[in-house]
Amino acid sequence: MSYTQTRHAPRAGGGHRTSRSLRPARVFMRMLLAFAVLVALGVVIVSRIEHVSGNQGLPLSDAGVIREQAAEKHLDPALIAGVIYAETKFDPRTSSAGALGLMQILPSTAEYIAHLSGGSTFTTGDLATPKINVAYGSYYLRYLLDHYEGNEMLAVAAYNGGLANVDAWVAKAREAGKALRVSEIPFPETQAYVQKVMRAQAEYRVVYPRQLGL
Protein backbone atom coordinates (compact mmCIF):
# COMPACT_ATOMS: atom_id res chain seq x y z
CA MET A 1 0.00 0.00 0.00
CA SER A 2 2.81 2.34 0.87
CA TYR A 3 4.57 1.30 -2.37
CA THR A 4 1.56 2.30 -4.45
CA GLN A 5 1.33 5.65 -2.71
CA THR A 6 5.03 6.22 -3.29
CA ARG A 7 4.70 5.50 -7.00
CA HIS A 8 1.69 7.72 -7.44
CA ALA A 9 3.10 10.62 -5.39
CA PRO A 10 5.18 12.04 -8.26
CA ARG A 11 2.09 12.14 -10.46
CA ALA A 12 0.27 14.29 -8.00
CA GLY A 13 3.31 16.52 -7.64
CA GLY A 14 3.67 16.73 -11.42
CA GLY A 15 0.03 17.80 -11.67
CA HIS A 16 0.64 20.67 -9.26
CA ARG A 17 3.71 21.76 -11.23
CA THR A 18 1.62 21.86 -14.43
CA SER A 19 -0.92 24.09 -12.68
CA ARG A 20 1.81 26.40 -11.44
CA SER A 21 3.39 26.51 -14.92
CA LEU A 22 0.14 27.95 -16.31
CA ARG A 23 0.15 30.87 -13.91
CA PRO A 24 2.86 32.95 -15.70
CA ALA A 25 0.95 32.57 -18.96
CA ARG A 26 -2.24 33.77 -17.30
CA VAL A 27 -0.44 36.69 -15.70
CA PHE A 28 1.10 37.61 -19.06
CA MET A 29 -2.30 37.49 -20.78
CA ARG A 30 -3.78 39.72 -18.09
CA MET A 31 -0.91 42.19 -18.46
CA LEU A 32 -1.33 42.16 -22.23
CA LEU A 33 -5.06 42.81 -21.89
CA ALA A 34 -4.42 45.64 -19.42
CA PHE A 35 -1.88 47.18 -21.82
CA ALA A 36 -4.38 46.97 -24.70
CA VAL A 37 -6.99 48.71 -22.57
CA LEU A 38 -4.51 51.48 -21.66
CA VAL A 39 -3.61 51.99 -25.33
CA ALA A 40 -7.29 52.21 -26.27
CA LEU A 41 -7.90 54.71 -23.49
CA GLY A 42 -4.91 56.74 -24.66
CA VAL A 43 -6.30 56.94 -28.19
CA VAL A 44 -9.67 58.06 -26.85
CA ILE A 45 -8.06 60.68 -24.61
CA VAL A 46 -5.90 62.08 -27.42
CA SER A 47 -8.89 62.24 -29.75
CA ARG A 48 -10.89 63.92 -27.02
CA ILE A 49 -8.15 66.49 -26.41
CA GLU A 50 -8.00 67.34 -30.12
CA HIS A 51 -11.78 67.62 -30.27
CA VAL A 52 -11.91 69.85 -27.20
CA SER A 53 -9.06 72.01 -28.52
CA GLY A 54 -11.03 72.63 -31.69
CA ASN A 55 -14.16 73.49 -29.74
CA GLN A 56 -12.21 75.89 -27.54
CA GLY A 57 -11.17 78.08 -30.44
CA LEU A 58 -8.40 76.30 -32.34
CA PRO A 59 -10.13 74.48 -35.21
CA LEU A 60 -8.40 72.67 -38.04
CA SER A 61 -9.64 71.28 -41.33
CA ASP A 62 -8.08 70.43 -44.71
CA ALA A 63 -4.80 69.58 -42.95
CA GLY A 64 -3.70 67.52 -45.95
CA VAL A 65 -4.08 70.53 -48.25
CA ILE A 66 -2.12 72.70 -45.82
CA ARG A 67 0.72 70.14 -45.58
CA GLU A 68 0.84 69.80 -49.35
CA GLN A 69 0.98 73.55 -50.00
CA ALA A 70 3.48 74.13 -47.19
CA ALA A 71 5.83 71.56 -48.69
CA GLU A 72 5.37 72.89 -52.22
CA LYS A 73 5.83 76.56 -51.26
CA HIS A 74 8.45 75.95 -48.54
CA LEU A 75 6.27 77.44 -45.82
CA ASP A 76 5.66 76.63 -42.19
CA PRO A 77 2.30 74.77 -42.22
CA ALA A 78 1.52 76.33 -38.84
CA LEU A 79 1.87 79.76 -40.45
CA ILE A 80 -0.69 78.86 -43.11
CA ALA A 81 -3.00 77.53 -40.40
CA GLY A 82 -2.46 80.71 -38.39
CA VAL A 83 -3.43 82.90 -41.34
CA ILE A 84 -6.54 80.80 -42.00
CA TYR A 85 -7.46 81.04 -38.32
CA ALA A 86 -7.11 84.82 -38.36
CA GLU A 87 -9.07 85.13 -41.58
CA THR A 88 -11.95 82.69 -41.12
CA LYS A 89 -11.28 80.28 -38.22
CA PHE A 90 -11.65 77.55 -40.87
CA ASP A 91 -15.22 78.62 -41.60
CA PRO A 92 -14.99 79.85 -45.22
CA ARG A 93 -17.33 82.67 -46.05
CA THR A 94 -17.50 85.75 -48.22
CA SER A 95 -16.42 88.94 -46.47
CA SER A 96 -18.14 92.29 -46.81
CA ALA A 97 -15.24 93.31 -49.07
CA GLY A 98 -15.82 90.30 -51.33
CA ALA A 99 -12.88 88.16 -50.13
CA LEU A 100 -13.52 84.44 -50.57
CA GLY A 101 -12.62 81.09 -49.05
CA LEU A 102 -10.51 79.87 -46.17
CA MET A 103 -7.73 82.42 -46.72
CA GLN A 104 -10.09 85.27 -47.69
CA ILE A 105 -8.66 86.13 -51.09
CA LEU A 106 -10.09 88.99 -53.12
CA PRO A 107 -10.80 88.11 -56.76
CA SER A 108 -8.49 90.95 -57.83
CA THR A 109 -5.70 89.54 -55.66
CA ALA A 110 -6.32 86.08 -57.06
CA GLU A 111 -6.04 87.41 -60.60
CA TYR A 112 -2.75 89.07 -59.64
CA ILE A 113 -1.50 85.78 -58.15
CA ALA A 114 -2.60 83.90 -61.26
CA HIS A 115 -0.60 86.40 -63.33
CA LEU A 116 2.47 85.99 -61.11
CA SER A 117 2.29 82.20 -61.20
CA GLY A 118 1.60 82.01 -64.92
CA GLY A 119 -1.94 80.69 -64.47
CA SER A 120 -4.42 81.33 -67.26
CA THR A 121 -7.60 79.47 -66.29
CA PHE A 122 -8.54 81.24 -63.05
CA THR A 123 -12.22 81.92 -62.33
CA THR A 124 -13.62 83.54 -59.18
CA GLY A 125 -15.61 80.42 -58.37
CA ASP A 126 -12.35 78.49 -57.95
CA LEU A 127 -11.69 80.32 -54.68
CA ALA A 128 -14.51 78.39 -53.01
CA THR A 129 -12.49 75.17 -53.37
CA PRO A 130 -10.22 74.74 -50.33
CA LYS A 131 -7.36 73.22 -52.32
CA ILE A 132 -7.30 76.11 -54.81
CA ASN A 133 -7.92 78.77 -52.18
CA VAL A 134 -5.07 77.55 -49.96
CA ALA A 135 -2.83 77.16 -53.00
CA TYR A 136 -3.41 80.80 -53.97
CA GLY A 137 -3.05 82.08 -50.40
CA SER A 138 0.12 80.06 -49.86
CA TYR A 139 1.60 81.30 -53.12
CA TYR A 140 0.94 84.89 -52.04
CA LEU A 141 2.48 84.24 -48.61
CA ARG A 142 5.60 82.82 -50.29
CA TYR A 143 5.74 85.86 -52.57
CA LEU A 144 5.49 88.23 -49.60
CA LEU A 145 8.11 86.31 -47.62
CA ASP A 146 10.51 86.48 -50.55
CA HIS A 147 9.80 90.21 -50.89
CA TYR A 148 10.64 90.76 -47.21
CA GLU A 149 13.60 88.38 -47.16
CA GLY A 150 11.88 85.79 -44.98
CA ASN A 151 10.47 88.18 -42.39
CA GLU A 152 7.21 86.51 -41.37
CA MET A 153 5.91 89.50 -39.43
CA LEU A 154 6.19 91.81 -42.43
CA ALA A 155 4.74 89.19 -44.79
CA VAL A 156 1.71 88.68 -42.53
CA ALA A 157 1.27 92.45 -42.17
CA ALA A 158 1.28 92.82 -45.95
CA TYR A 159 -1.21 89.95 -46.32
CA ASN A 160 -3.64 92.05 -44.31
CA GLY A 161 -2.59 95.66 -44.80
CA GLY A 162 -1.31 95.57 -48.35
CA LEU A 163 2.16 95.41 -49.84
CA ALA A 164 2.39 99.12 -50.64
CA ASN A 165 1.45 100.16 -47.11
CA VAL A 166 3.96 97.84 -45.44
CA ASP A 167 6.70 98.95 -47.86
CA ALA A 168 6.00 102.56 -46.80
CA TRP A 169 6.10 101.66 -43.09
CA VAL A 170 9.35 99.74 -43.52
CA ALA A 171 10.92 102.63 -45.46
CA LYS A 172 9.91 105.11 -42.75
CA ALA A 173 11.36 102.90 -40.02
CA ARG A 174 14.62 102.54 -41.95
CA GLU A 175 14.86 106.30 -42.31
CA ALA A 176 14.75 106.43 -38.53
CA GLY A 177 17.53 103.86 -38.42
CA LYS A 178 15.48 100.95 -37.10
CA ALA A 179 13.40 97.96 -38.15
CA LEU A 180 9.63 98.06 -38.14
CA ARG A 181 8.18 96.42 -35.05
CA VAL A 182 4.66 95.08 -34.54
CA SER A 183 3.92 97.77 -31.98
CA GLU A 184 4.79 100.44 -34.56
CA ILE A 185 2.38 99.28 -37.28
CA PRO A 186 0.13 102.33 -37.73
CA PHE A 187 -3.02 100.40 -38.73
CA PRO A 188 -4.61 99.03 -35.50
CA GLU A 189 -6.40 96.32 -37.49
CA THR A 190 -3.18 95.14 -39.12
CA GLN A 191 -1.27 95.28 -35.83
CA ALA A 192 -3.92 93.14 -34.14
CA TYR A 193 -4.00 90.81 -37.16
CA VAL A 194 -0.25 90.18 -37.05
CA GLN A 195 -0.38 89.45 -33.33
CA LYS A 196 -3.30 87.06 -33.86
CA VAL A 197 -1.54 85.14 -36.64
CA MET A 198 1.75 84.87 -34.76
CA ARG A 199 -0.01 83.64 -31.62
CA ALA A 200 -2.10 81.13 -33.59
CA GLN A 201 0.98 79.90 -35.45
CA ALA A 202 2.66 79.03 -32.14
CA GLU A 203 -0.49 77.33 -30.83
CA TYR A 204 -0.97 75.23 -33.97
CA ARG A 205 2.59 73.97 -33.67
CA VAL A 206 1.84 72.75 -30.14
CA VAL A 207 -1.69 71.39 -30.59
CA TYR A 208 -1.57 69.90 -34.10
CA PRO A 209 2.02 68.82 -34.87
CA ARG A 210 0.99 65.43 -36.27
CA GLN A 211 -1.83 66.75 -38.44
CA LEU A 212 0.37 69.50 -39.86
CA GLY A 213 3.36 67.23 -40.41
CA LEU A 214 5.62 69.11 -38.00
Instruction: Respond yes or no: is residue 87 known to be catalytic.
Output: yes
Q: How far apart (Å, rounded) are the C-alpha atoms in residues 132 and 126? A: 6
- 100 forms beta bridges with 105
Among 50, 68, 87, 203, the active-site one is: 87
Q: Which of 81, 70, 74 has the alpha carbon at shortest distance from 135?
A: 70
Encode burial over 126-159: b for 16+ CB neighbours within 10 A, e otherwise.
bbeebebbbbbbbbbbbbbbeebeebbbbbbbbb
Residue 76 DSSP symbol: -
Q: How far apart (Å, rounded) are the C-alpha atoms in residues 24 and 122? A: 69
Q: SS3 helix, strand, coil % of the chain, rounded to 5?
A: 75, 0, 25
Return the active site residues.
87
